[in-house]
Chains A and B, each alone.
Chain A
Amino acid sequence: MPVNLTPNAIATINGGDVNLKPLVQVLDIKQMGSAQERFRLLVSDSVLTQHAMLGTQLNDRVKTGLVKKGSVIQLIDYICSQVQKRKIIVVLNLETIIPDCEIIGNPKMVSDALTQKALPNTNSMQSSTVGYNNLSSQSHGSNMHGISSALSTQNHGGNMQSFRPTSSNQNQGSKMQSFQPALGAQNYGDDVQSFRPTVQPPYQPPPSYRNHGAVMKNEAPARIIPISALNPYQGRWAIKARITAKGDLRRYNNARGDGKVFSFDLLDSDGGEIRVTCFNAVVDRFYDVVEVGKVYLISKGSLKPAQKNFNHLKNDWEIFLEATSTVDLCPEEDGSIPQQQFSFKPISEIEIAENNSIFDVIGVVISVNPSVPILRKNGMETQRRILNLKDRSGWTVELTLWGDFCNKEGQKLQEMVDSGFFPILAVKAGKVSDFNGKSLGTISSTQLFINPDIPEAHAAKDWFDRGGRDVASMSISKDIVQGGPKNEVRKTVSQVKLEGLGRSDKPDWATVRASISFIKTDTFCYTACPLMIGDRQCNKKVTRSGNSRWQCDRCNQEFDDCDYRYLLQVQIQDHTGLTWATAFQESGEEILGYPAKELYFLKYESNDDTRFADIIRSRLFYQYLFKLKIKEEMYGDERRVKITIFKADKVSYSSESRYMLDLISKVRTY
């Protein structure tokens, strides 16, 4: 990247400038000081070089590598100081422009001769100054600054204490020399060699930056920068951006007490986006000020790393507004800032997207389901509404609306679809879920736009009207099989084994059409606790206590009658292979056709083994559609894939035929 350093920057700074904010390059970095760590830079304007001390608050920039040899930096707040006859730039704030760069130009290395020649006035003044000759030095305004600033620099380093007695000492003789090593060690390293106390500034209280004119706060309005250029290391910035979304005011309660928070999203003319968050009192200041769609000038806030789990904007930072921040409405509309920024992806891409990734899609709403109440895990009830979106990729996807979206946009969409319209829906920031194939769901930062006036919407409508409506499209959301049950992933027995199902964190589900080839009858059921715990039956295994009663260890109770539940080991077999599977109560009863209790009594009370065997044998070799849950589990040191029969449905030949005919027609299209 070509970059020009600010021409004559070094000379200008040496001449007393504090407003140039020049671009310079770092040629060298030295660590100084022992009491307090400081860094000295050698900076270049491509022609001249000069030493610059970094304010300690900037030490981190060096330590984190933001400023290193070769970095091109912009000096923001700085002052040129006179330290022991040498000029040095004290840098209070800077900005890294290019972290790493080749050395630009052919800068001359700094030398005493050069600095002295460049500053004849200062030198002569200093050499002629003896003792309390500070009156004349005060008349040299800029020089005075230099000295006091140098002092304050030392103050920063904690060296002021050692220097002060010296300055009050009128005797400049050999006594001074004795201070030299000590000073040097704490002070400026190799500079100490040239330390010649020709001038003794009169004692003065250590100055601070605040009462110092040259480093007064710059009250001029900060320059507007692109959002993409924002970072935590800038002191002053302003951005001009449109508010594309405004979050609800949320109240929270955590270990530090109650609070409230809200955030809004910004977009600027360069396409940069960033989230702005306010807490507590700051919320009150800005909540009513910000309005979606309007353009604002925003300044003074702190930048923090973006909370990626809440914030899906393409920015690593987010702005936290503070009490001193300003959010000013720009009265005139700025057409260069788009209303919204989408990065639409075709639905076909969602299918291969990772779970929880964030997508913008646009498509035609082809159906809207009614809104249904859903009980969330935390016990709160929320609304859910599912609609189907079709786009030019020829695929459809289920979009699940949650909460308020169901009643606002969802209701409107349903009315439109019910009256025969097919609205275009743009979804900003929908979340991909891998529930039932792949689907899309709303999150709090999702935005829905019905029939938006954007080129993509017109293109989608055009495509739909010109035949897209009639294009048969496949859904990526569910493995919809004509006539077959929904949500099923068909596998054969060998596929279940060969594809290594169940090895991931979550169990895999598969539907297998197979027959039962063997039923293990040594133990096929267990004695279960019939007591209710909440709204569920306990079902824990119970043991005989005494002669006739049953005891549940979990409920710690005894009762006369227990429940009998299936725990059935069966082999299932199809044309590709054979596997063991376990069926619990419901699916066990589906397979055997009798309640477990009945078979238990037949076998263990009536001892009617013949009839029992007949029943078992009569259940073999029927075809079922098994819904299997497949999960690898640890048994001691051994990993075993455990297959549970979640549901066993007798094959309906009619719908199974349809399923297979459908498969044949799919084969034909390949």
Chain B
Amino acid sequence: MTKTLNIAMVSDFFYPNVGGVENHIYQLAQCLLANGHKVIIITHSYENRIGLHFITGMLRVYYLPLLVFYNQCVLPTIIGTLPMIRTILLSEKIDIVHGHSSFSTLAHETMFHAKTLGIFTVFTDHSLFGFADASSILTNKILELSLADVNHAICVSHTSKENTVLRANLQPQNVFVIPNAIDPNEFSPVELSNGDGRLRIIVMSRLVYRKGMDLLAGIMPEICQHYSDVDFIIGGDGPKRLLLEETKEIYQLHDRIQFLGAVPHNRVSEILNQGDIFLNTSLTEAFCMSIVEAACCGLQVVSTSVGGIPEVLPTDLIHLADPSVHSLLTNLHKVIENIRKGNVTSKPEIHKKVSRLYTWPKVASRTEAVYHSVMKQRRPTLKGRIQKVLSCGPVIGKLFIIFIFLDHLVCRILDIIQPVKSKHSEDITTKVHCETHFAVKSGKR
């Protein structure tokens, strides 16, 4: 089982962009490297960051010069990226292509080419989708086509698995659940000596509708009026900041509510340590890293019970509420009273419990198990692909077959005019930029 593999992680989202997916890819790649595998990362270029870059642990990142057109995703060209990606995959002798995020066009395209080249594919889905609106219908169909012949899919929670199985019409046995993780050392409680007896409620998220900022706007004045010694610290930025600032103005809560704006990830634990209660008001969430981070810092967590959130923390570490102002308030009152009475587990104890739950080495070893299971399967063939894609739909399936044929054809032509000699990693003499002091800092805050 200890065979080392050559793995290519692909996503549009990577450093210098920041967020949950970026962090996931980086951490997973580092752990797999540590386990002796060869890992490369393929993403699109960011500003002047083009070509092959080396980052921490000699992790190789290919920044491809592609046109970004919407939300950090590259323009879908179906076969336009083939020459570049084929050269990388073949010269690096890649065994498994691992795509991340269903929004990433680059991930889908690379997986598409990988199947043409007979390389195994694994896909990790990080998000939840509905089924009702037009954009979901379109995205879900694309996902179904892309995942029709994927070897294995990974989801971050059971809810996310159900969602992906329905969206992409997959066999549930082929979908693995591997949660996200955090670095517990980064999030440890620090006793601050500002014992002024005031309680602080921390909110850390992008200030957007989907994160339930309208609920927060209803909660803040109620809590501030009810308790004279409970304050809010709000980290993050976004379009709903206006609403929250307005609430602050209307209720004259200037000394009670503090806005920090966008917070870099390395300051998150510092801010979490200033508080006693963490409030999450998301309306939908596949996994929710921020509540794990907060609990790891020893905070009391109050959260809406949506998406995968009820699966994440044991019931004694989280207070789940319905997504309504009333329910969240009831829970907050309960928690505040418990803290006042000293009726809560101490911060270091909570940290001890949480720090064991989600760690990157665990995620890496579970992902390795998926890779090994993939390696036992049969290599993707043209015939098998066509059969699977045909089952996706009477019209779109046939249309997609044309693209598959085209991809194979262009691939054959490239084999003749542009043969790839696979080289060992040591031979690479390309001009590279070494960045030894690099760390992906996550958190779209």
Whether both chains belong to one complex is answered with no
Residues of A participating in the B interface, judged by any CB pair closer than 8 Å: none
